[in-house]
Amino acid sequence: MQRTISRRDVCKYSALSLLGASASGWLPTIAARAGQSDTKKNRNCILLWMSGGPSQMETFDPKVGHENGGPTRSIETNVPGVRIGENLPMTAQVMDHLAVVRSMSTKEGDHSRATYFMHTGYLPQGPIRYPTVGSFLSKELSNEECDLPAFVSVNPFQAFSPAAYGPGFLGPAWSPLVVASQMTGEDAEAQQVSFEVSNLKRSGQVTQAQANARLQLLTSLEHDFLKNRPGGPGRSHVQSYQQAIRMMESGAVDAFSLDSEDDTLRDAYGRNPFGQGCLLARRLIETGVSFVEVNLSSADGAGGGARWDTHQDNFEAVSSLCGVLDPAYATLITDLEHRGMLDDTLVVWMGEFGRTPKINENTGRDHWPKSWSAVLAGAGVKGGQTYGSTSEDGTEVTNDPMTAQNLMATICKALNLDHDVTNYSNVGRPIPLSDHGSEPIQSLLS
């Protein structure tokens, strides 16, 4: 049975943990050495992806008092004057770290195209295979000392657009390591969420000596192949195999095991695939992974379905989904903050679009890319603010519209990256991280 944990309990747990570390004597020494270092630490990114398109009116842009707002009330946050939907009471208490963009405005109302657009910053067109955001950002941010892949995707829902989750023209070396959650334990009451990377263990029928001999043979064959056929695809293939071998031989894979985490903290995140996925994301960032995407698309926190696609029973569905989102999101922000990681970790919350302000005949909301919300926190983001606004009925952006391209440029800037840095596509075109002409929104950044 799960225990109910308040945000105060989480803060208490984290504070006690930090005090214990400080009292041990070694933390000040490490901090002093870090202060003497001239090396600039890379920033990292966690993307919380809400597959299906979450309703802005039941989350971060409620319209209380207008018929389009429905029954959803707004609540105060810990930032005076900023109110959000009643479905997110714990998130309201970390609002001082959040920058809510209420003026997202795009043109793609189809799940497939919009998912691709918001994951790559480009529309699907022609022969160019654009890389997903985790691939092109992790390529720039990757930590060479980390034994794990630079990009990990947790419970992705790829049915809308498989290409939106791939490395595109960057090649397989920048593919995500896809991790799916599992429920373990025979007793339903005692089942636990776990994460396991498949095919990392050597077969019991193969000795270590035999495995080493096979790897040596593979290396020899690859060397001969590349000598006569140099080029990107071959090198990328070899890099992928080298990364897999490195991971198999490393203790870094222990990051995928949550057993060492305190039960109080695990409860605070939520004992469901999304909550534990957010905890896993924090552990992976600690290990040196540069980009982690965690998907929430169903009310049990798993990756199946797309329940944010609330054409029917919107209010009940969003309430259930936020019951999973709220504790996980708030605890992730709090946990990162108390571990001193939030300054270097950008947390992005978004889906492919929003929902119609007008409520349909099925008490649902349909697809709406014209005026919706996304949220940034951590890294170089100035928290405790809202950016842009929508009309009283929610149908129009009335102030500071935000394009997908400008959002991508802002994400790059928050991560200390030049959004104009280019990679060359599979047809030889230079492709910047953020599309030509886009600019970061400076008022969102510290």
Phi, psi (degrees; rounded to nearest 5) at 135: -75, -50
* Radius of gyration of the chain, Cα coordinates, nearest whole angstrom: 22
Q: Are 111 and 352 in contact (CB under 8 A)?
A: yes
pLDDT at 16: 41
3-state class (DSSP) for residue 394: coil
According to DSSP, the residues that pair with 348 across neighbouring strands are 47, 376
pLDDT at 234: 58
Boundaries of every domain in the chain: 7-14+40-198+255-444, 199-249
pLDDT at 235: 59
Distance, in Å, from the CA atom of 29 to the CA atom of 128, rounded to the nearest integer, reads 50
- Give 94's contacts (C-beta < 8 A, 6+ positions apart): 7, 78, 329, 330, 333, 334, 377
Residue owning tokens 């100035």: 382
Q: How does pLDDT run along the chain (446 residues), one tens digit per residue? A: 344 445 445 444 444 444 333 333 333 333 443 444 444 578 999 999 999 999 999 999 999 999 999 999 999 999 999 999 999 999 999 999 999 999 999 999 999 999 999 999 999 988 999 999 999 999 999 998 999 999 999 999 999 999 999 999 999 989 999 999 988 766 556 678 999 776 555 566 666 676 566 666 766 666 666 666 666 555 555 565 566 666 556 667 889 999 999 999 999 999 999 999 999 999 999 999 999 999 999 888 877 778 999 999 999 999 999 999 999 999 999 999 999 999 999 999 999 999 999 999 999 999 999 999 999 999 989 999 999 999 999 999 999 999 999 999 999 999 999 999 999 999 999 999 999 999 999 999 98
User: For residue 354, which of 45, 84, 108, 65 has the smallest C-alpha distance?
Assistant: 108
Q: What is the CA angle 148-237-294, rounded to 5? A: 40
Residue owning tokens 């630079």: 150
pLDDT at 80: 97
pLDDT at 85: 98
Angle between helices 314-338 and 7-23 (to 10 degrees): 20
pLDDT at 196: 76
Angle between helices 26-36 and 7-23 (to 10 degrees): 90
Distance, in Å, from the CA atom of 323 to the CA atom of 104, rounded to the nearest integer, reads 24
Burial class (CB in 10 A: 0-12, 13-18, 19+), 224: exposed
User: For residue 102, which of 70, 74, 132 has the smallest C-alpha distance?
Assistant: 74
Distance, in Å, from the CA atom of 354 to the CA atom of 365, rounded to the nearest integer, reads 9
CATH class of 7-14+40-198+255-444: alpha beta
pLDDT at 18: 40
Distance, in Å, from the CA atom of 354 to the CA atom of 332, rounded to the nearest integer, reads 23
Phi, psi (degrees; rounded to nearest 5) at 127: -85, -5
In 307-384, where do the E strands start and end?
A: 345-350, 354-355, 367-368, 372-378
| DSSP letters for 55-107 | -STTTTS--TTSGGGTT--EEE-SSTT-EEETT-HHHHTTGGGEEEEEEE--S
3-state class (DSSP) for residue 12: helix
| DSSP letters for 103-168 | EE--S--SHHHHHHHHHHSS---TT--PPPHHHHHHHHH--TT-SS-SEEEES---SS-GGGGS-G
Burial class (CB in 10 A: 0-12, 13-18, 19+), 207: exposed
Helical spans, DSSP H, in 339-370: none
pLDDT at 20: 39
